[in-house]
A and B are shown apart, each in its own frame.
Chain A
Amino acid sequence: DTGVSQDPRHKITKRGQNVTFRCDPISEHNRLYWYRQTLGQGPEFLTYFQNEAQLEKSRLLSDRFSAERPKGSFSTLEIQRTEQGDSAMYLCASSFSGRGYEQYFGPGTRLTVT
């Protein structure tokens, strides 16, 4: 399977704990995106990388959220001091760079904060 993979698929954590999610993009793609999806809504953009450069991070929901892609391959999304409102599906997608290429999504990580 050469699609986008995400780990873990599910995460249950207690409020105040830190969590980290991993995304492995399609190997030929140099762009990687993170989205958040809450119940009944479409995905909401958080941040994206082209290779190892983070080109947009102003949409990260708060300074508790951070993302890295240190070698231009896999990426991690970290949420510090989790809150109940952080409970959502976190989606990763990848694409070729350039205008208008379609993004391919992974299966997502469902976060539940208790």
Chain B
Amino acid sequence: AQKVTQAQTEISVVEKEDVTLDCVYETRDTTYYLFWYKQPPSGELVFLIRRNSFDEQNEISGRYSWNFQKSTSSFNFTITASQVVDSAVYFCALSSGNTPLVFGKGTRLSVIA
């Protein structure tokens, strides 16, 4: 069975602080895909990134960066110099390709001005 755990239910930071959202996954498949989605207060899930299990290279996109470590089954997400607009619920998700996405319960991030 596949499982995604986001242990942090809520995080609150002051604007311009860095923040890391944790994601730990479980799967028996050797080929799998990991995703992060953002759900702002408007409610629509916004795709942020996809990584496949064969590519452990970390990725940076502007203020966002992702750290994928197969050895610890983790796919953590860091926001550098957080802004109020980053306030949202962030979901980590897992798929083995042709299986549906399995989501974690999400981490609610509040960035305070």
Contact = CB atoms under 8 A, between A and B. Distances in A.
A107 to B, nearest CB: 5
Given A41-B105, A42-B103, A100 B97 contact: yes
Interface string A33-75: 1010000111111001000000010010000000000000000
B97 A43 contact: no
Contacts of A102: 35, 47, 50
A35 to B, nearest CB: 8
A108 B105 contact: no
A33 B100 contact: yes
Interface of B: 4, 31-33, 35, 37, 42-47, 50, 52, 91, 93, 95, 97-98, 100-106
Contacts of B103: 42-44
Interface residues of A, number: 25
Q: Which of A33, A41, A42, A103 has the most chain B CB atoms closer than 10 A to its own CB?
A: A42
